Amino acid sequence: QSALTQPPSASGSPGQSVTISCTGTSSDVGGYNYVSWYQQHPGKAPKLMIYEVSKRPSGVPDRFSGSKSGNTASLTVSGLQAEDEAEYYCSSYAGSNNLVFGGGTKVTVL
Amino acid sequence: QLQLQESGSGLVKPSQTLSLTCAVSGGSFSSGGYSWSWIRQPPGKGLEWIGRISHTGSTSYNPSLKSRVTISVDRSKNQFSLKLSSVTAADTAVYYCARVGPGGYLSYWGQGTLVTVSS
């Protein structure tokens, strides 16, 4: 299984929106509605932000939203805030109880 | 609140076996529908899924690591373990344990533990 493809970086000004893509194949992203997104600040463990493509765990602001079209999933952060500056990783179920991660996207708040 | 805590050797010599344990507290270890996973992150790099184990002991491993990985569970102690054999410097990473929800989302994570492979 190959890693999912994410852009290395994305940026936006406070209050703006930023969208991160996550491209896989029909064997992972395109084949299942089991895409999740994680936020990781430096030196910290990742935090689940979105699961099953578009569901938000309790406590995650509704500024974070997820979607999927074909083999590409997306995470949108609306109303960017300083604390949103972090690394974001996508992950997908890849069949046979396997998981695969994306390479990560560094989001910078300008 | 479910909590996970990794423990084990922080320094392993090349060709030896890395061993880590994840202790689970604050919740049921044997809840149906959940499994338990190991993930690693080399310094300055991205996340890599290592494998997972169900509460019944059924395992799945990353194909790229499968020949060297063993994940086991000790339900009596509410913990699960990772063994990675024949390690090299490329196995140097922060190792995380996590709970896996249906479909594969990782909802609870340990704080991570750095394992360095060096002679």
pLDDT tens by residue, A57-76: 999 999 999 999 999 999 99
Name the residue among B35, B60, B109 with its Cβ closest to that of A46.
B109
**Long-range Cβ contacts of A28-31 (<8 Å, 24+ apart):** A28/A1, A28/A4, A28/A92, A28/A93, A28/A94, A28/A95, A28/A100, A29/A4, A29/A68, A29/A71, A29/A72, A29/A73, A29/A92, A30/A70, A30/A71, A31/A95
| Mutant choice from A1, A44, A97, A105 vs B, greatest count of B C-beta within 10 A | A97
Would you say residue B108 has pLDDT above 90? yes
Q: How far is A13 from chain B (nearest CA, A)?
A: 25
CB contact under 8 A, B103 and A100: no
Q: How far is A70 from chain B (nearest CA, A)?
A: 18
Name the residue among A45, A48, A104 with its Cβ closest to that of B112.
A45
Nearest residue in chain B measured CA to CA from A35 = B105
Lowest-confidence region among A11-20, A41-50, B24-33: B24-33
Q: What is the mean pLDDT of residues B82-98?
A: 98
Would you say residue B29 has pLDDT above 80? no
CB contact under 8 A, A91 and B106: yes
Q: How confident is the model at residue A19 (pLDDT cuts 50, 70, 90)?
A: very high
- Tens of pLDDT, residue by residue over B49-88, are 999 998 788 999 999 999 999 999 988 899 999 999 999 9
Q: How confident is the model at residue A30 (pLDDT cuts 50, 70, 90)?
A: very high
Q: How confident is the model at residue B30 (pLDDT cuts 50, 70, 90)?
A: confident
CB contact under 8 A, B63 and A93: no
